[in-house]
Amino acid sequence: MADSTPLAGQVALVTGASRGIGASIARELAQAGATVVVNYASSPAAAEAVVAEIQAAGGQAWSHQANVAEEEQVETMVKAVLEKEGRLDVLVNNAGITRDGLLMRMKSADWQSVIDLNLSGVFLCTRAVSRAMLKARSGRIINITSVVGLMGNPGQANYSAAKAGVIGLTRSSAAEFASRGVTVNAVAPGFIESDMTAELDREPILKAIPLGRMGQPTEVASAVRFLAADPAASYMTGQVLQVDGGMVMR
């Protein structure tokens, strides 16, 4: 029978875990036995609610505020995790934003803020955890990209460029870290029910999804749990796992 707590004794840091997909990933990894650090940027009450929920279910979690687009805040956060827990086994780079608009009218600030968080934030967090993971000769890094990073999307030049960049970053870091037992994979969700997609016009979206519905955050979280767990995904690295209802078939 499969181990129901494959992450027991391990520590997982999930960025942007106060809401949506990140909160679901935090719950899932806690259920798998990990102590989860719930990172958030500006929603302390929501982050504390996720922590309380995990604890009420018998799991272990605590929250840490940090803007993951800011180098110093990322370094401080990872240092705090290592000081408090003495280890860091799983990093899930989930925090992300959209600032949509047609390219011709896109403000440079909207381009830059999406690149800074959705791409550079993944780089900063990966670099910050790399020393400890490489030294430990084990670790799992899971980057949340998007199918938009594979196919592009009108109105999302900034977002799709960042998400495509995350796929390149995933593959390069996977190649660099493989010899030290650290794997790096990406999960590419399609359209998932969350605050990020709450305002979108559903009709054209649903037409493009063979399974005929939006995904749930838990359906992304279970893919992350698979990639985080040993031995389940121990021979996978540099891969992009799509959770998109069949939207992009390659």
Catalytic residue list:
159
Q: Can residue 42 be called a binding residue for ligand NAP (CB under 6 A)? A: yes
End-to-end CA distance of the chain: 33
CB of 166 to ligand NAP, least distance (A): 9
Q: Can residue 122 be called a binding residue for ligand NAP (CB under 6 A)? A: no
Asked whether 227 and 157 are in contact (CB, 8 A), the reply is no
Choosing from 5, 43, 216, 222, the residue that interacts with ligand NAP (CB under 6 A) is 43
Choosing from 120, 146, 158, 160, the residue that interacts with ligand NAP (CB under 6 A) is 146
Whole-angstrom Cα distance, residue 196 to residue 191? 10
Whole-angstrom Cα distance, residue 170 to residue 126? 10
Give DSSP secondary structure letters for 41-62. SS-HHHHHHHHHHHHHTT-EEE
Choosing from 22, 33, 139, 245, the residue that interacts with ligand NAP (CB under 6 A) is 22
Token pair for residue 229?
Answer: 């767990």
Q: Can residue 196 be called a binding residue for ligand NAP (CB under 6 A)? A: yes
Choosing from 10, 18, 173, 242, the residue that interacts with ligand NAP (CB under 6 A) is 18
Q: Looking up tokens 């010899």, which residue turns up?
A: 179
Q: Can residue 40 be called a binding residue for ligand NAP (CB under 6 A)? A: yes
Q: Can residue 78 be called a binding residue for ligand NAP (CB under 6 A)? A: no
Site string for ligand NAP, 80-119 (x = CB under 6 A): --------------xxxx-------------------x--
φ/ψ of residue 6, rounded to 5: -65, -15
Whole-angstrom Cα distance, residue 224 to residue 228? 6
Asked whether 183 and 141 are in contact (CB, 8 A), the reply is yes
CB of 9 to ligand NAP, least distance (A): 26
Residue ranges that bind ligand NAP, judged by CB under 6 A: 15-22, 39-43, 46, 67-69, 94-97, 117, 144, 146, 189, 191-192, 194-197
